[in-house]
């Protein structure tokens, strides 16, 4: 009996030491905002102040891509794939109204605009290019530049041609050639006028949505396939980077990739299983791709389901900058059966309109610190809040930019900040209910109206933009 008691006491002590170590090595990151002077901010000359959009979410007129198909599909229970059975349709008609929207950017005082090219409009078939679509984007670029707004292009923002998806998309390494053909075509058309290029947007969101949760097209739930797709996207980036650098004007281009950092913190910091769940979630969602650009090693592990690895020691040389998208963080526990049940909102924090996104503006400092390990310039390519009542947006903007300013003050190389989004849009599987826009959009009249909370961004931009 004494021996059993000794073993029990020893195990308890080992567990206590383990938990103590985890808490000391990974302290909770949160700020007491009552002790912060959020007006004490500063930004360097040449800082990029911008807004961002994505083609499928704002342009309208998409009839040949993966999301157009997805909007007509039902799930296994017969429910629409998109909330409220909504369709992107005309969206906010940015395709036709871009001159008006560029004037809205001028009103804000921003000097940059991040937008994506519609791969499906430009490349409607495997070996076919639409010259009218290419001309359209050429006109957009010229209009931006004539208004002293720097264009930043995203080449893949969740949207891809339906024919590409039907060929297996990035599930098949051989399909990378189609993406590269698109990259070459548009860089040859715009490379003389566009300096900043993002090869992919939120690669882990894309793969987890499309191949783990099944919320994005093609709606598969296969962890190993998710790991393979992410690996092929990373390979695509490396190939696209090298391709661009070999083309005319490629030596002047700055090419990067956009990574969403979403932290996974243990729900109960005294529970080792919650720490384990947070470890696996952070490793797959954040470290799998960030480590690839730091060391060249890619690994994607889901216990008992997936173990995908790849090595390219030259990968760290294929980033001129890294795009950081940041929104929130999750409380995490371990659930090996149902991955979706692992995550929940962090208790005690104010909620945004996204059902599981709390307001965590200090997290952007934490994300900058994590991303700084890559030792390349950081551009915050997305940061924003869904806030239909517009009663939290101003505070969120002020605190987020305070956190960015603090990061710059502490020596982190942050070159720009792009608010998501310029205007309300089609928020993928969530439809039109999530209002991220600086500008409210009446979907019936297409009238744009600057929100009161957005004026905080306008105020800060006009103070520091030059």
Mean pLDDT by 10 residues, the chain (466 residues): 80 90 93 97 97 98 98 95 97 98 98 98 97 98 98 98 98 98 98 98 96 96 96 98 98 98 96 93 92 96 91 96 98 79 91 96 98 98 98 98 98 98 98 98 98 98 92
Q: Within 13 Å and on the Cβ side, how many CA atoms surround 384?
A: 26
**Residue 191 and residue 249 in contact, taking contact as beta carbons nearer than 8 Å:** yes
SS3 of residue 268 by DSSP: coil
> Which residues, other chains included, contact 229 with Cβ-Cβ below 8 Å and sequence gap of 6+?
169, 170, 171, 207, 210, 211
- Return the exposure string of 80-96: e unless at least 16 CB atoms fall within 10 Å of the residue's CB, then b: bbbeeebbbeebbbbbe
The β-bridge relationship of strands 254-266 and 297-302 is unpaired
Instruction: To the nearest 10°, report the CA torsion of 411, 397, 283, 347.
Output: 130
DSSP lists the bridge partners of residue 307 as 301
Contact 426, 57 (CB under 8 A): yes
Residue of 304, 291, 170, 297 lying closest to 226 (CA atoms): 170
Q: Return the exposure string of 413-450: e unless at least 16 CB atoms fall within 10 Å of the residue's CB, then b.
A: ebbbbbbbbbbbbbbbbbbbebbbbbbbbeeeebebeb
Rounded to 5 degrees, what angle do the CA atoms 392, 397, 403 make? 125
Q: Helices in 212-287 by DSSP H: which ranges?
A: 223-246, 272-282
Known catalytic membership, residue 202:
yes
CA 247, CA 255: separation in Å to the nearest integer?
13
Q: What distance in Å separates the CA atoms of residue 422 and residue 27, rounded to the nearest whole number? A: 35
Distance CA 384, CA 51 (A): 10
What the block records as the tokens of 362 is 């200090």
Per-residue pLDDT, 337: 66
Q: Quick check: 194 and 141 in contact, CB under 8 A?
A: yes
Question: Locate tokens 């939120």: which residue?
Answer: 202
Q: Per the structure block, which two tokens stand in for 464?
A: 């520091």
CB 138 within 8 A of CB 94: no
Give me the catalytic one of 71, 159, 160, 202.
202
Cα–Cα distances (Å) from 263 to 219, 362, 427, in that order, read 24, 12, 21
Q: Give the pLDDT of residue 12.
A: 85
Query: DSSP of 395-444, one letter per residue?
Result: HHHHHHHHHHHHHHHTT--EEEEEEE-SB----GGGTT-----SEEE-TT
Q: Which residue has the tokens 């849009």?
A: 425
Domains of the chain, with CATH numbers? 48-464 (3.20.20.80)
What is the DSSP annotation of 369-405? HHHGGG-S-EEEEE-----TT-SSHHHHHHHHHHHHH
Positive or negative torsion for Cα 160, 207, 223, 333: negative
What is the Cα–Cα distance from 263 to 345, expressed in whole angstroms? 11
Cβ(165)–Cβ(210) under 8 Å?
no
Kindly report the backbone phi and psi dihedral angles of residue 102, in degrees, each rounded to the nearest multiple of 5, phi listed first. Answer: -65, -35
Could you give phi then psi for residue 333, rounded to 5 degrees?
-130, 180
Measured over the CA atoms of residue 152, residue 158, residue 163 and residue 168, the dihedral's sign is positive
- 286 three-class SS: helix
Name the residue with tokens 């039109």: 432
């Amino acid at each position: 009996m004494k021996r059993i008691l000794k073993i029990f006491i020893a195990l308890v002590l080992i567990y206590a030491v383990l938990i103590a170590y985890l808490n000391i090595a990974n302290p909770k990151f949160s700020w007491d905002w009552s002790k912060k002077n959020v007006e004490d901010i500063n930004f360097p000359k040449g800082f990029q102040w911008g807004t961002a959009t994505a083609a499928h979410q704002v342009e309208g007129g998409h009839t040949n891509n993966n999301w157009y198909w997805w909007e007509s599909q039902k799930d296994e229970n017969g429910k629409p794939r998109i909330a409220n059975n909504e369709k992107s349709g005309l969206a906010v008609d940015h395709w036709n109204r871009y001159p008006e929207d560029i004037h809205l950017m001028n009103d804000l005082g921003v000097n940059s605009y991040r937008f994506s090219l519609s791969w499906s409009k430009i490349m409607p078939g495997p070996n076919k290019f639409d010259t009218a679509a290419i001309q359209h984007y050429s006109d957009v670029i010229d209009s931006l530049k004539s208004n002293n707004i720097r264009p930043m292009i995203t080449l893949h923002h969740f949207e891809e041609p339906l024919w590409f998806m039907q060929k297996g998309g990035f599930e098949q390494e051989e399909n990378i050639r189609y993406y590269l053909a698109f990259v070459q075509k548009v860089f040859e058309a715009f490379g003389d006028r566009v300096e900043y290029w993002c090869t992919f947007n939120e690669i882990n969101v894309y793969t987890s949505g499309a191949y783990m949760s099944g919320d994005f097209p093609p709606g598969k739930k296969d962890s190993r396939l998710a790991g393979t797709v992410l690996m092929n996207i990373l390979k695509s980036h490396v190939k696209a980077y090298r391709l661009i650098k070999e083309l005319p004007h490629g030596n002047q281009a700055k090419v990067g990739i956009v990574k969403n950092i979403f932290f996974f913190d243990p729900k109960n910091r005294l529970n080792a299983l919650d720490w384990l769940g947070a470890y696996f979630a952070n490793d797959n969602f954040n470290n799998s791709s960030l480590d690839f650009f730091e060391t060249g090693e890619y690994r994607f592990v889901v216990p008992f389901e997936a173990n995908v690895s790849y090595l390219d020691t030259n990968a760290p040389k294929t980033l001129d900058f890294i795009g950081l998208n940041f929104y929130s963080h999750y409380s995490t526990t371990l659930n090996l059966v149902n991955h979706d049940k692992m995550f929940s909102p962090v208790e005690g924090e104010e909620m945004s309109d996204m059902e599981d996104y709390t307001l965590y503006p200090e997290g952007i400092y934490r994300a900058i610190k994590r991303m700084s390990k890559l030792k390349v310039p950081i551009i915050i390519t997305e940061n924003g809040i869904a806030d239909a009542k517009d009663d939290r947006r101003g505070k969120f903007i002020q605190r987020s930019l305070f956190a960015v300013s603090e990061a710059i003050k502490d020596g982190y190389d942050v070159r720009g900040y792009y608010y998501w989004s310029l205007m309300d849009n089609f928020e993928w599987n969530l439809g039109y209910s999530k209002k991220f826009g600086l500008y409210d959009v009446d979907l019936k009249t297409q009238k744009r109206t600057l929100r009161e909370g957005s004026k905080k961004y306008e105020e800060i931009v006009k103070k520091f933009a030059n």
